[in-house]
Amino acid sequence: MDELTEAYVKWKYNFNLSDNFNEEYSFKIDAVNIYTLEKEVCIHRSENTKAAVALVSAGYLGTSPEFPSLAISLQTLELYYTLRLFKPSFSVEAFAKALCHLYSIPFRRGYRTGLSDTFDVYLAIRRRIDSQVAKELGHEGANYCVLNSCPACCYKLEDEPELEFSRMWVVDGNNSLKRMAGIGNREVSDTRIFGESDYYLSEDFVNIYAGEIKARPLARNIEDEDPDELQSDWVDEEHGDPTDGIEDSELAQCTENWKAAAADQQKKMWGIFHESGYFASACRHGFVLWVADMIRSGELAKYPLAIVAKALGVLPPRWLMGYDIGCSFGGTILCSSLGPEFAKQKCRTCVNAFHGYSHNAACQQKYHPLNILGMGLEDLETLERLFSSSNQLAPLIRYMTAYRRRVFIDIFLQQWDQEKYQNLATMLHNNYVQALNILEDEAKALQADLLAKGITIEDLETYFVEESNHLKEIGKEAEGDLHAVAYVELLQRYRELSSACDNAAADFRSQTPADYEFLASAASYSRNLSDGRRAETKRRYLREQRDKTLFEVVQMETAMSISPRWEPTDREYIETIEYMNTRKYRQALERLYKLVIQRLFELHKMNLSFTGYKMRTHISNALQRRSKAIRNAVKTYNSAAAAIGQLTLDWVKVTHYSFLDQFNVLQDTRHSILDKKWADPVVRHLMKQHRQVARAKEEIQHCNIQIRRLQTSIFDEDKKFQKVLEHLKDTSMYFPVHDFINRRRAVNQLLLSRIYQTQALPGFTGNRNPGVREGSGPPTSTSVPMNLDLPDPDSDDGEDAEDDEIVDGMGAVIEYMSNLST
C-alpha cells in the first residue's frame, strides 16, 4: 500500500517520472479510460517494479493486486470520486453503465464489481495521502477534528467575553441509512471493519452505555393500536430509550409523544436491517462531531449517551446540547453513570426549535430555544439539514457491505464539513442580518405596543412567571374531587342497576303467560320454560350486583362521612357531575392534541423525497389512519366541549400550527384565565416578541465573537501554511500538501470577503481586527499576511447559502406540513 501511495503521488504531481525501464518487463493490459476511450495500454516497468506499482506510476489501477486483468485509469476513478462528492446518490453501477455506453459495449455485472473493487483501493490511497497531509500540517490526534474543525466554536481568543454556553451542539437519530442484514454471501466475503473515520464511535464504545437505562413500557391507547402491528414486534424490552431515565410528570406528555412517534417509525424494521440507521451530533454551525451506527434497534438511550460521554471527555465544560427529546433526556443523563460529571461540568440539554413547539407549554418554558437565556437565535435544526442531505445515500448503501457503507458515509460527512466550512462566514453573516432586522423591526414595534398597552418589560417577565406557576397547577386534580367522582360514579351505577332490576322483575312476570296450561306443543313449552329460566337468572344476577354496589356505596359514605345520600338535585352532586364533564372534556382535548402532535412528527420525519416507495406508502397509510382518528377525536371533543360550554373546534383549524399554542389556553377549565394578563393574545404576542428581541441581542454578541474567531484562524492558518511549505520544499509530500493549501486558501479568501461584508454592515458592533488564540502566547503580529489577496469589502458575490433557507421559518414549515395530506 505504501508503494502504491508513493507511486500515486509521483503520478499525480508529475514528479520524478524518469524511471529506467526494461522493455523485457513491459506488459499490455485491457484498460478503461473515460478521457481517451483506449482499450489497451502498454505498461513499462523496470525489473524490480511490481505490476501493480507500475500500473499506478502509469496512471492506472489494476482490478486485482497480483494479476490484474483490467486497469482503470486513475483519472477515471478521480472523476467518479468527484462526481460522488457532489452527488452522493450517484452509484458505481450508474458510472459503470456510463462507461460501457461510451465504449459501446453492453453492461455486465462484472464491470460493476471490478470498478467497485478498484474504487476501494483508490479510496484507500487517498485516505493515506490525506492522513500524511494532515500529519505534515499538525492536524493530528484523536480528537483533532472535534476540537478544531469549526473555528467559530473552537478558535477561542484571548480576552473575549464569556458566553453562557461554551458550545452548542445537537444530537439526533436518523433511520434512512439502513443496511439489509446478510445479503447472500457478500457479507461473509467482506468482513473488514472501517475504523479510519474521525467521526465514528465504535460499537464496543456505544455498548458500554447499553445497560445504563432500563426500558419502561409506553402507556398506549388501545384505540391508536393497529391490530396488524403488535407492540411486541418492535419493543426492546431490555434497553431503555432516551426518555426512560426519568419520571417527571411535567414532561410525561413529551415523553409519551416521543415514544409514540419513535415506535411508529420503527415497527418491524429491525428484522431485515443490520444497521437500522445512524446517530449523529453536530455543532450549531453544522460541523459533525461524532456519529454512531444504530445496530438492530431504534433510538436507544445508549447512542446519545455514548456521544454525551465523548462530549464530557473532550469538549470544554458548560456546553448545551439540543435533542428532540432534550427535556427528558437531561434527566436520563443524570440517572446514568455520566450524571455526576454532567452536573459538575454544568452542562445542560434543551429541545430544538421545531420539536420544541410540539412539547407542552411547561416544557417549552424551560427547554425551548426561544426561552433559554444565552441561546441567541439558534434553532438547533442543523441535523435536519444534515439528514435531509445524507438521505441521498440511502438507496445506495442499503445493499452494500458494512465496510463500504461506512466508507461512503465517512466521505459524505467529510464533504459535508468542507461545505460547512466554506459556508461558515455566510451563515454568520445571515445570522447577523437576521438579528439586526429583529432589533430594528421587532424591538421598535415592541416598544410602541408596550406603551400603547401601558405595560413594561418587567410586567412581561412577571407574566412569564405567572404563566409558569399556572401551568404547574394544570392537571393536578384535588384529592377530594377524585373521591367525589368515584362516589357519584358509584351512585350512578347503583341507580342504573336498581332500575335494571325493577325492569327485570317486570320482564319475569310477563314471561309467565296467563294461558300456559293450554299450550299443546311440548317444544313450545320447553322453550318458554328456558326463557323463563334465563329471565330469572338475569334478575337474580342484577339483584346481586345491585346489592354489592349498594354495599360499596354505603362503605364510601361511611369513609367520606356522607349522610344523607346525595340526590341528583343536591348541590354537591351537580358540582361533581360538572367536574366530571370537564374532566371528560380535558381528556378529549389531550387526546386530540396528542394525535395532532403525532401527525406532525410523521409529516416531519417523512422527508418527502428520498423515502422508498414502500415506506412512503406505509407512512401515508399511517397518516390516513391518524387523520381519521383526529376527525373522531374532534367529534368527541366537540360533544364534551358543548356539555360544559367551551369553544368547539373545526377540523381544518385543528390541523394548523396555531392549535398547538391554543392548546394551553383551551386546556384550562377550572381556573378562569380570561382575566389573566398572560392569556390575552396581544400580550402573548408581546411576550414572544420580547424573548425574540433578547435572543437577537445575544445573537449579535455570538456573531461578533465567532466572526473574529474565524478571521483570526484564517490569518494564523495562513502563517502556518507558509512555514509548512518552506519546511517541505524538495520532498514528495510538498505537492499534496501544496494542493491542500491551495484549495483551503481559495476558500479562506471567500470567507474573508464575506467577513468584510459583515463588518461593513451599518449595525456591526464587533472588533474588526483579528485577535490572539487563547493559549498561543504573546501576540506576534496581527497584521494581515502579504500573500493573502484581500478582497474588496464592498464586493457582493450575491451567493446565499441555500442550506440555511431550507429550515428557515419553522412556523411556516409546520403550517405547510400540517396542511399536507389532510
Q: Is 471 in the site for Zn ion (CB under 5 A)?
A: no
Closest CA to 581 of 671, 644, 672, 666: 644
Stretch that binds Zn ion, among 174-182, 272-280, 283-291, 614-622 (CB under 5 A): 283-291
Stretch that binds Zn ion, among 102-110, 176-184, 277-285, 522-530 (CB under 5 A): 277-285
Contacting residue, 29, 61, 146, 150, with Zn ion by CB under 5 A: 150
Q: Choose between 152 and 589: whose C-beta lies nearer to Zn ion.
A: 152
Stretch that binds Zn ion, among 92-100, 248-256, 483-491, 568-576 (CB under 5 A): 248-256
Contact 594, 600 (CB under 8 A): no
Q: Choose between 427 and 640: whose C-beta lies nearer to Zn ion.
A: 427
CB atoms within 10 A of CB 220: 13
Q: How far is the CB of 810 from Zn ion (least distance, A)?
A: 16
Contacting residue, 153, 377, 435, 504, with Zn ion by CB under 5 A: 153
Closest CA to 516 of 531, 505, 501: 531
Which residue number places its CB atom closest to Zn ion? Answer: 254
Contacting residue, 254, 372, 413, 436, with Zn ion by CB under 5 A: 254
Q: How far is the CB of 258 from Zn ion (least distance, A)?
A: 8
**Residue 315: CB partners within 8 Å, gap ≥ 6?**
146, 166, 167, 169
Contact 298, 259 (CB under 8 A): no
Stretch that binds Zn ion, among 59-67, 133-141, 143-151, 517-525 (CB under 5 A): 143-151
Angle (CA) 461 467 470, round 5°: 145
Q: How far is the CB of 380 from Zn ion (least distance, A)?
A: 12
Contacting residue, 262, 363, 380, 402, with Zn ion by CB under 5 A: 363
Q: How far is the CB of 133 from Zn ion (least distance, A)?
A: 23
Q: Choose between 283 and 413: whose C-beta lies nearer to Zn ion.
A: 283
Q: Choose between 287 and 408: whose C-beta lies nearer to Zn ion.
A: 287
CA dihedral 417, 418, 419, 423 (to 10 degrees): 100
Residue 640, judged by CB atoms within 10 A of its CB (0-12, 13-18, 19+), counts as: buried
**Helix (H), strand (E), coil (C) string for 751-800:** HHHHHHHHHCCCCCCCCCCCCCECCCCCCCCCCCCCCCCCCCCCCCCCCC
Q: Is 359 in the site for Zn ion (CB under 5 A)?
A: yes
Q: How far is the CB of 772 from Zn ion (least distance, A)?
A: 20
Residue 799, judged by CB atoms within 10 A of its CB (0-12, 13-18, 19+), counts as: exposed
Contacting residue, 12, 178, 179, 285, with Zn ion by CB under 5 A: 285
Q: Choose between 415 and 636: whose C-beta lies nearer to Zn ion.
A: 415
Q: Which residues pair with 214 in a beta bridge?
A: 239
Contact 793, 757 (CB under 8 A): yes
x/- mask, Zn ion, residues 502-521, rule CB under 5 A, reads: --------------------
Q: Which three cell numbers stand for residue 94?
A: 450508474
Pairing of strands 70-73, 60-62: antiparallel
x/- mask, Zn ion, residues 308-347, rule CB under 5 A, reads: -------------------x--------------------
The H-assigned helical ranges of 438-514 are 443-453, 457-473, 479-511
Q: How far is the CB of 801 from Zn ion (least distance, A)?
A: 15
Q: Choose between 153 and 269: whose C-beta lies nearer to Zn ion.
A: 153
Q: 320 — phi, psi (to 5°)?
A: -120, 130
Q: 279 — phi, psi (to 5°)?
A: -110, 130
Q: Choose between 351 and 683: whose C-beta lies nearer to Zn ion.
A: 351
Q: Choose between 12 and 420: whose C-beta lies nearer to Zn ion.
A: 420
Q: Is 428 in the site for Zn ion (CB under 5 A)?
A: no
Q: Choose between 5 and 281: whose C-beta lies nearer to Zn ion.
A: 281
Q: How far is the CB of 285 from Zn ion (least distance, A)?
A: 3
User: What SS3 state is found at 474?
Assistant: coil
Residue with cell 342497576: 497
Q: How far is the CB of 711 from Zn ion (least distance, A)?
A: 15
**Residues in contact with Zn ion by the rule CB under 5 A:** 150, 152-153, 254, 283, 285, 327, 359, 363
